Amino acid sequence: MPRSAPRPPDTPVPFDPDPALLRDLPDRPGVYRFHGEAGELLYVGKSVRIRERVRSHWAARYRDHREYRLCWLTRHITFTRTAGELGALLRENEEIKSALPVFNRKQRRPRHLYTWFLHAAPNGVIEPVLSHPLGAQPHWPETGFGLYSSPARARNHLAHLASEHGLCRKVLGLEHGQGPCFARQLHRCRGACCGQESMAEHHRRLEAVLHSERIRAWPLDGPMVIADPDEHTPGCDYHLVDQWRYLGTASTPSEARALIDDPANTAFDLDAYRILLPRVIAETGFA
């Protein structure tokens, strides 16, 4: 059914995709883009099988209002092939952060990222200190715990961990005043605030709780090139990464290393970190 109006109707009506939209899409890894009436970028996605993934958007259009709106507005689809899934993940993340498609709101980069560092206070108490260490800087200078888009989100998450594991909110700097913390009165704190638990034991438990939140320091002295072989052809992509940043892709290792001089992608990005962490562990063997 032809769609003459760019705005989707409030009440969904049946429509089928234009066959031309899907005609040239490959069943190979890569990034795909949905464009609107004036060529505007609506959505960026990735898949190991682009054609199959794009078809799934239309298959879900009557079950999900967001998919319905996206499919209704789409007039053109472009794609970029990658050798493997790693390249698709990295490129999708990069394009979303740089182009800000309207249907990828949840994946956009926060303007600021905050993390907790453990700091030894003058009285010997080890307490989390909220920091904004990176700004636009590329390097992750030391181990932090968690990344949050605002101080409020960071404190709320730390408060949740305290409640879940019996940590003291006063020792953590989340509560002030004299005497035991409020949670201790409810028997939800093990008593570091009133001498019933040693500071050493509280610190041990705090580190154990935060371990899964740890942001690891970059394990190398410089950048590394990750080979991403193509399962369907003899080709291979080479991705240059440094300090958990994706700096670009080339067809040879030497061309990839030359990308280090490109000033783009200078800031640490949490999504790129999550994508790269398992691959860097596999390549370097650090844990």
Which residue from 81, 213, 15, 51 is spatially nearest to 4, judged by alpha carbons? 15
Tens place of pLDDT per residue across the chain (287 aa): 444 445 666 666 778 888 888 889 999 999 999 999 999 999 999 999 999 999 999 999 888 989 999 999 999 999 999 999 999 999 999 999 889 999 998 776 655 778 898 888 777 778 888 887 654 444 555 578 888 888 999 999 999 999 999 999 999 999 988 889 999 988 899 999 999 999 999 999 999 999 888 888 888 888 999 999 998 888 899 999 998 889 999 999 999 999 887 655 556 788 888 999 999 999 888 76
Contacts of 283 (CB under 8 A, 6+ apart): 224, 226
Contact 15, 3 (CB under 8 A): yes
Q: Which residue has the tokens 């979303």?
A: 96
Which CATH code for domain 19-107? 3.40.1440.10
Question: Which pTM does this prediction carry?
Answer: 0.78
How far apart are alpha carbons 34 and 108 in whole angstroms?
Answer: 17
Report residue 148: phi and psi, to 5°.
Answer: -135, 150
Report residue 264: phi and psi, to 5°.
Answer: -70, 160
Q: In the prediction, which pLDDT does 136 show?
A: 46
DSSP symbols for 26-95: -SSSEEEEEE-TTS-EEEEEEESSHHHHHHHHHHTTTT-HHHHHHHHH--EEEEEE-SSHHHHHHHHHHH
Q: In what order do the strands lie in the sheet with 245-250?
A: 224-229, 236-242, 245-250
